[in-house]
Amino acid sequence: MTKVERSVPYLFLLPAMILLLFWRYIPIAMGLRESLYSNALSLTGAKTFVGLDNFRYLFDDPVFWSSVRVTAIFGIIVNPLQVALALALGVLVNQSLRGIGIFRTILLLPVAISINVAALAWGLALDTNYGLVNGLLEAVGVARQDFLRDPDQALPTMIGIVSWIGVPFWTLFILAGLQGIPHEVLEAARVDGANRLQTFLHVTLPLLRRVLLFVLVADTIANFTLFVPPYLLTRGGPGNSTNLMMYDAWKRGFVYGDLGSSAAMVLILLLVMAVVVIIQFLALRPQH
Amino acid sequence: MKRLFTSELSRRKVVQQAGLGAIGATAAAHGVSSSATAAQEPVRLTWLLDLPESEMIANAFMERNPGIQVDVELVTFREVFQQNQVRLGSGADNPCIVAVDAPLVASYGLRGWLVPLNDHFSDEQRDVWVDALVDSGTYEGQFLAPPIWNSTQLLYYNVALFEAAGVTPPGPDERWTWEQIAAAAKQLTSGDVWGFQFEQPNRIYQLQPLPQGKGAPVIGEDGLSVEGIITSPEWIEAFTWYSNLYNEWGVAPKGEVDVQELFVNQKLAMVVRGPWAIKALSDADLSFEWRAAPHPYWENGDIVVPTDSWHLGVNPNCQHVEEAIRFVQFASSEEAGQLWYDTGVMWPPQEPLLEQIINNPENNDGPGKAYTIAAEESQHAAPRAQTPGYLEYEDILSSAFEDIRNGAVVEETLAAAEQRIQRELQKYRNA
Amino acid sequence: MSTNQSRHQLQTRETTVITADNTDTRPVALSTTRHQPGATRPGERMLATLLYVLLIVMALIVLAPLEWIMASSFTTRETVWANVLPFSWRALLPEEFTLAGYRGIFAEGFGRVILNTMFVGLTTTVLSVIVGSTAGFAFARFDFPGKTVLWVLILLSLMVPYEATVIPAYTLVNNLGWTNSWQALIVPAVANGTVIFLFRQFFAEIPQDLIDAARLDGAAWSRVLVGIVLPLTKPVVVTSAIIVFLAQWNSFFWPMLVAPAEEYRVVQVAVSILGVQQELRYWDLLFASATIAAVVPLALVLPLQKYYVSSITGSGLKG
């Protein structure tokens, strides 16, 4: 291989890496470095190195631990749920059923709705007294529910709202992946006597492996770093029941002005996320 | 490369050397460094705020000060705080003119985000404003931010709903007790009509008259502790009453449905709201009559009415500190106060204007009487907690009030809030 | 080598690849008979009915809140809440149809805002697809020293939440003198880890023979990417374009921070400001702006659906 030839991949990577260096890596390093410093509150403005004090402060804080618990429950439910539903929806709207085009269009609509607008709409639709959903429930004889105002229902409700946007969004990628599976392969499996389930499990799924890995990893990251729904809908309540770690970290930094413990919290979140993502890569690695 | 990611000018230096000389010198240094082109173009000041009417004040100032351009950046109420935190926190030169919620003067002052203005406002100038607001604008002896608006709260009620329920409403000068409010609300609540609601049902701004009216403080004297305060019997009694409104008696709606919409659609009989509601209700072309009455209080308790609003300060990193100060002087003047008041949206902080409102014969009766009541309420104004940790304090209390409204146990919720606030205030006790 | 030739080669190629990959499959018959919808078996019919019920329920869940926002946007300011307190079915159809909300937002400069956001969104999309596809190509098709480290860095760039880096990134914008400029809105969003990841995953699926053949014909690597790889992965290009455009269309905090001047105002910032005044909200303006904020990207995204429609003769590239 010539020298020029060896430089090819680096040249392809150059624009992305330069942009990432300035807009991501240096800011990331600077942002996370705050976790080792006390917040600059004094008039002298000097930042003091405090070692792991910010981490100790968090570990002593019951709100931090409740936030970890909420994030764990949220993640364990929302990620498999969204990926499974996106896969199901992708396969469903990819069927050759009459009128499927209309359904596909409708079901993909939430993709274009911003999370701000979606939160506004669902916040109003789920209102205890005036919401559309309770109007519906009442019409069929079910008692009104508090949804986002009930400590037991708030997190499941938030999972629902987040998935209303999330599932169609991830379905886009599944559809792009399904698009790549030649019809002949599926036809061949049928001819061989495989039923729909067998075809799906043994032909479609293996061929979607790379797409699924992408969806799983990207979805996990998106959900770990989620903060707009608690910010707009619940402020982490009621009773801290929707106080996701990213929202808590954001609040510590930008409301409480405590950049140190905010950065420490992000760093902890990042480590957890890294472990989960590594497991996902290992689980879905090519089997050769 | 490191210089790209650090702010050029340390604002703290400016603050430490507080006086005008230092600021003048810094401004001059900037003038030199920003080269000769600046001489031709107008001086541009950025002003970040949440009210569209701000454009009108900016225009009025520009007419009087050719050569200075004020660029208004409109954001939502909640975003003003976030934007200030990020921009001022990273030492940016914009916004030049900083909107500061009254209780945050201490927080911004402690962080060195505001230029001290002691030398730019004479005692006579400061005497024009309602006293409580001058205090709000001062931190550790430094006058940091003059008030541009004020606020107060009154009781509004739907006359038709009172008649329909056979309840006698309060007279225009009659101050109801919270006990009377609850009793009337129970009678007024029926079908899809609610008896009562607060405009901002989970903010300490709106709710602090409940414990304060029972004689309890809202924060320790040093502004750095809430130990034993939020769990005091007065607080528990006050918020048990509040909880009952939403839970036990069910006379007030949970959720965040707009009180303006509930009231104009005749689904709400009484609401405690600010004076901006007077214009909103007058403009709404309603099919029913409404009236206002003074803010409620506890039987045998003190009369306490919420107050204060935005103040304006100057960012020490602004490239044109002197011009920015001139703008702040204008925006807080009696002249500007009249302009604000004429929009019908904002309430003036200047005492002479409040007297004018009271003496205006159009405000003697009918809906206009509400203006007089609002102006008179100033004498009962109690400012919010003075603490550098106000943002934490407010956020934690908001969550607690929201939880109580949704049915959480009052004692436990307040105890947890007290602990959390105490914990967050620790950093200021150490600083 | 032309694109058509390569595609042809790919199609012939795929059957072999599949046979090789699914070792348990017996020789594949390339049957052209296709399963018809609503076929004869009763089990099939029941399944189809079930699927339709499912589709209708899901469609209702998706449509209900959107329909309500849209209906409210055509309702007068005074009556917009009348049928919601409490909720009644009449809220889903405006009683007095009015365009006042729309007239209101365009009078406040919403047209300019849409053009601004389109400009930012489309520019970022084009740049992001170029930068993302070249980087994804390097990761998918080359082995080079430092590859793993760089790949981990890409994942890191996508894992760290933006909120955690906003202060240093904002300081950089300030020190470059980019406050209130198009580049402050566009440049930081161009290199997107998700897009690079996505391209890498799909580019890895392309059969090596195709690339080898092109290389033997003397095509430069850039030619291989533009002439062969990208045309074969249109759904991915489209998906990447959609996610970048939507991310820009929906961004809120960053534009408010770095380009607050009115001439740079973008859609989500405008939606949040329009119709909000101290404690009062002008709901008609809010609903009208929310409707347009949703309709514009839909008008761009929906036509791209054709790239997702399962085509029977599809140029499959799975290997």
Residue C5 lies in a domain: no
| A89 domain residue, yes or no | yes
Counting Cα atoms < 13 Å in the Cβ hemisphere of C97 gives 1
Decide: A227 and A247 in contact? Cβ < 8 Å.
yes
Instruction: Look at B47-56, B349-358, C261-270, C310-319 and tell me which has the smallest mean pLDDT.
Output: C310-319
- What DSSP character marks residue A39? -
Q: What are phi and psi of C87, to 5 degrees?
A: -60, 130
Is the Cβ pair C290, A274 closer than 8 Å? no
Cα distance between residue A110 and residue A165, in whole Å: 5
Average pLDDT over residues B238-249: 97
The verdict on residue C45 lying in a domain is: no
Instruction: Choose, out of B161, B265, B282, B347, the residue to mutate when testing the contact with C (most C CBs < 10 Å).
Output: B265
Tell me the nearest-neighbour CA distance from B5 into chain A, angstroms.
8
DSSP string, A62-114: HHHHHHHHHHHHHHHHHHHHHHHHHHHHHHHHTS--TTHHHHHHHHHGGGGS-
Confidence check: pLDDT of C35 > 80? no
Contacts of B389 in chain A (CB under 8 A): 256
Q: Verify whether the Cβ–Cβ distance A106 to C59 is below 8 Å.
A: yes
Over residues B327-356, mean pLDDT: 91
Cα(A73)–Cα(B265) distance, integer angstroms: 41
A129·B1 Cβ contact <8 A = no
How many percent of chain B have pLDDT more than 70?
A: 91
Which phi-psi region, left, alpha or beta, contains residue B49 (left: φ > 0; alpha: ψ -120 to 50)?
beta
pLDDT greater than 60 at residue B11: no
d(CA C121, CA C249): 6
Q: Please name the residue of chain B whose CA is at the shortest distance from the CA of residue C82.
A: B265
Chain B residues touching C175 at Cβ < 8 A: 3-8
Residue at A19 is within a domain: no
| pLDDT tens digits, one per residue of A218-245 | 999 999 999 889 988 888 989 999 999 9
**Domain-located, residue A23:** no
The token pair at B86 is 């990020």
Tokens at C20, concatenated: 């090789």
Angle (CA) A69 A73 A79, round 5°: 140
State the chains in contact with A (3 or more Cβ–Cβ pairs under 8 Å).
Answer: B, C
**Segment among A143-147, B138-142, C35-39, C152-156 with least mean pLDDT:** C35-39
Which residues of chain A from 14 to 33 reach within 8 Å of chain B, CB to CB?
26-27, 30
Does the beta carbon of A123 lie under 8 angstroms from any beta carbon of chain B?
yes
Q: Which residues contact B209 (CB under 8 A, 6 or more apart)?
A: B153, B295, B297, B304, B305, B306, B382
Quick one: average pLDDT of C227-250?
A: 91
Which two tokens mark C211?
């690339």
Is A70 a member of any domain?
yes
Shortest Cα distance, chain C CAs vs residue A34, angstroms: 10
CATH number at A249 reads: 1.10.3720.10
Which residues partner with B43 through β-bridges?
B68
Return the closest-CA partner of residue B277 out of B345, B372, B339. Answer: B345
State the average pLDDT over residues C279-284.
69
B128, B152, B234 from B382: Cα distances, Å: 18, 10, 17
Is A14 within a domain?
no
> Cα–Cα distances in Å, from A189 out to A193, B128, B396, C18?
7, 87, 60, 11
Distance CA B129, CA B312 (A): 14
User: Encoding tokens for residue B139?
Assistant: 């931190």
Q: Which residues contact B402 (CB under 8 A, 6 or more apart)?
A: A235, A237, A238, B202
| Cross-chain Cβ contact B86/A254 below 8 Å | yes
Query: What per-residue confidence (pLDDT) applies to A287?
Result: 67
For B201-225, how does the pLDDT look when each residue is reduced to its tens digit (9 = 90+)?
999 999 999 999 999 999 999 889 9
Mean pLDDT across C109-126: 95
pLDDT-derived band of residue B427, with 50, 70 and 90 as boundaries?
A: confident
H, E, C per residue of A260-280? HHHHHHHHHHHHHHHHHHHHH
Residue A65 in domain: yes
Q: Which domains does chain B have, with CATH numbers?
A: 2-150+308-372 (3.40.190.10), 153-198+252-296 (3.40.190.10)
Q: Which domain, by its residues, includes C240? A: 101-307
DSSP secondary structure string for all residues of B206-258: HHTHHHHTTT--SS-TTSS--TTTTTSHHHHHHHHHHHHHHTTS--S--S---
C277–B345: do the CB atoms touch at under 8 Å? yes
* Chain A residue whose CA is closest to B428: A41
Domain assignment of residue C46, yes or no = no
Name chain B contacts of A123, Cβ cutoff 8 Å. Answer: 256
Look at residue C187 in the predicted model and tell me its pLDDT.
97
* Residue B345 pLDDT: 77
pLDDT, chain B, mean: 88
- Taking the Cβ of residue A12 and every Cβ of chain B, the question of whether any pair is shorter than 8 Å is answered with no
What's residue B1's pLDDT?
A: 54
Inform me whether the C-beta atom of residue A200 falls under 8 Å from chain C C-beta atoms: no
Residues 5-64 of A with CB under 8 A from C: 6, 8-10, 12-13, 15-17, 19-20, 22-28, 30-32
Q: What does the pLDDT read at residue A40?
A: 54
Query: Which residues of chain C are within 8 Å of residue A3 when distances are taken between CB atoms?
Result: none
Closest residue to B83, CB basis, from C81, C171, C256? C256
Antiparallel, parallel or unpaired: β C280-281 and C276-277 = antiparallel
In contact, A81 and A158? CB cutoff 8 Å = no
Higher-confidence residue of B366 and C279: namely B366
Per-residue pLDDT at A196 exceeds 50? yes
Q: Count contacts between B and C (CB, < 8 Å).
A: 94
Q: Is residue C243 part of a domain?
A: yes
In this model, does residue C112 exceed pLDDT 80?
yes
| ipTM score for this prediction | 0.89
Q: How far apart are CA A195 and CA A201, in angstroms?
A: 10
* Chain C nearest C-alpha distance from A63 (Å): 20
> Per the structure, how many domains does chain C have?
1
Residues B18, B21, B22, B23, CA torsion sign? positive
CB contact under 8 A, B110 and A43: yes
Per-residue confidence (pLDDT) for residue B169, from 0 to 100: 95
For residue A179, what pLDDT band results from cuts at 50, 70 and 90? confident
pLDDT reading at A109 higher than 50: yes
Average pLDDT on C294-302 reads 87
pLDDT in tens, A14-49: 999 999 999 999 999 998 998 998 865 544 456 788
Selected residue with higher pLDDT from A53 and C80:
A53
The chain-wide mean pLDDT, for chain C, equals: 80
Residue B38 has what pLDDT? 45
**Dihedrals φ, ψ of C25, to 5°?**
-75, 135
Q: What is the DSSP annotation of chain C?
A: --HHHHHHHHHHHHHHHHHHHSTT----------PPTT-S-HHHHHHHHHHHHHHHHHHHHHHHHHHHHHHHHTS-TTTTTTTTTTT-GGGGS-SS---HHHHHHHHTTHHHHHHHHHHHHHHHHHHHHHHHHHHHHHHHH---TTHHHHHHHHHHHHHS-GGGGHHHHHHHHHHTT-SSSHHHHHHHHHS-HHHHHHHHHHHTTS-HHHHHHHHHTT--HHHIIIIIIHHHTHHHHHHHHHHHHHHHHT--HHHHHH--SGGG--HHHHHHHTTEETTEE-HHHHHHHHHHHHHHHHHHHGGGGGGTS--TT------
Chain A residue closest to B85 (CA)?
Answer: A254
**Residue of A125, A214, A263 lying closest to C201 (CB–CB):** A214
Residues C54-93 pLDDT 10s: 999 999 989 988 888 888 889 887 777 777 766 777 777 8
Task: State the first-to-last Cα distance of chain A, in angstroms, to the nearest integer.
Answer: 27
Distance CA B405, CA B244 (A): 8
Q: What is the model's pLDDT at position C301?
A: 83
- Give the Å distances, CA to CA, from C149 to A10, C144, C216: 13, 11, 31
Q: Is the pLDDT of residue B50 over 70?
A: yes
**Is it the case that residue C315 has pLDDT exceeding 80?**
no
What domain range includes position A109?
54-283
Token digits of residue B267? 């689904």
In a domain, A260, yes or no: yes
Distance between CA atoms of residues B86 and B111, nearest Å: 13
Closest chain B residue to A42, measured at CA: B431
**Domain-embedded: residue C239:** yes
Phi, psi of B158 (to 5 degrees): -95, 110
A61 contacts B427? CB cut-off 8 A: no
Q: What is the dihedral of CA C247, C249, C251, C256, to 10 degrees?
A: 150
What angle, 0 to 180 degrees and rounded to 10, lies between the N-to-C axes of helices C234-249 and C283-301?
A: 160
Tokens of B166: 């056979």
What's the confidence (pLDDT) of residue C281?
A: 67
Residue C133, domain member (yes or no): yes
Are the beta carbons of B384 and B390 closer than 8 angstroms? yes
User: For B365-369, what is the mean pLDDT?
Assistant: 85
Which tens digits make up the pLDDT trace of B96-112?
999 999 999 988 998 88
Q: Assess whether pLDDT exceeds 70 at residue B338.
A: yes
Q: Rg for chain A (alpha carbons), in Å?
A: 23
Residues 6+ apart with CB under 8 A from A132: A124, A125, C64, C65, C68, C87, C91
Stated as kind and residue range, the H or E segment containing B290 is strand B290-293
The mean pLDDT of chain A is 88
Sign of CA dihedral C253, C255, C257, C258: positive
What is the spatial distance between Cα B355 and Cα A235, in angstroms, rounded to a whole number?
41
C7-44: burial string, b at 16+ Cβ within 10 Å, e else: eebbbebbbebbeeebeebeebeeeeeeeeeeeeeeee
Q: What is the pLDDT of residue B29?
A: 40
Nearest CA in chain C to A174: C308
| Domains contained in chain A, number | 1
pLDDT of residue C64: 86
Whose CA is closest to B337, among B158, B160, B171, B150?
A: B150
Taking residues B69-91, report their average pLDDT: 89
Whether the CB-CB separation of A240 and A67 falls below 8 Å is answered with: yes
Residue C289: CATH number of its domain: 1.10.3720.10
Domain membership flag for residue A22: no
The answer to whether residue C286 is domain-embedded is yes
Residue B196 has a CB neighbour count (10 Å cut-off) of: 25
pLDDT bin (cut points 50, 70, 90) of residue A138 is confident
Assess contact for B54 and B77: CB atoms under 8 A: no
Query: Is C48 part of any domain?
Result: no
| CA atoms of A180 and C317, how far apart (whole Å) | 6
Name residue A206's amino acid. Answer: P
Q: Which residues pair with B270 in a beta bridge?
A: B157, B196
Q: How far is B124 from chain C (nearest CA, A)?
A: 30
Which residues in chain A have their CB less than 8 angstroms from residue C48's CB?
97
Please give the average per-residue pLDDT across B17-29, as a whole number: 41
Which residues from chain C sit within 8 angstroms of residue A120, using beta carbons? 286, 290
* pLDDT digit string, tens, across residues B137-183: 998 889 999 999 999 999 999 999 999 999 999 988 899 999 999 99
